Amino acid sequence: MDRFLIAENPMKNEPRQFVIHTIKPKCIIEAAEPDTDPVSSGYPHKVFEFINSDGVPETWALIIRDVYDGSSNEELGKLLDRAWRWFRSYMEWEDANIDEKDDAQWN
């Protein structure tokens, strides 16, 4: 079973989101818009697309930024598809929460 956590630093001016995978392969994955953030970390990365709740297409790059257990690039590359499914579900949940109420309680 995968163990993902969402992380961001609201004290920074630039909104950056990270997904932390807490079991092997232990790593930090940055979720970024590919045209605004360079995709270069030396680790695997993938670009994904989906249609948000407003019908607007979004493009996201998942970029592995740091690895904590010596996992191979092959293992890390396989993790990105699972990380994307988890992150997309998180964004869909967040969109649904915002769309349900004018003053969302959970985000």
The structure's pTM equals 0.81
Tally the domains of the chain: 1
In a domain, 106, yes or no: no
Burial 14-38 (b: 16+ CB within 10 A, else e): eeebbbbbeeebebbbbbbebeeee
Per the structure, the complete domain to which residue 49 belongs is given by 4-98
In a domain, 8, yes or no: yes
Residue 15 — φ and ψ, nearest 5°?
A: -75, 110
23-68: pLDDT as tens digits: 999 999 999 887 755 567 788 899 999 998 889 999 999 999 999 9
Q: So what's the pLDDT on residue 99?
A: 55
In a domain, 105, yes or no: no
> Which has the minimum average pLDDT: 31-40, 65-74, 80-89?
31-40
In a domain, 103, yes or no: no
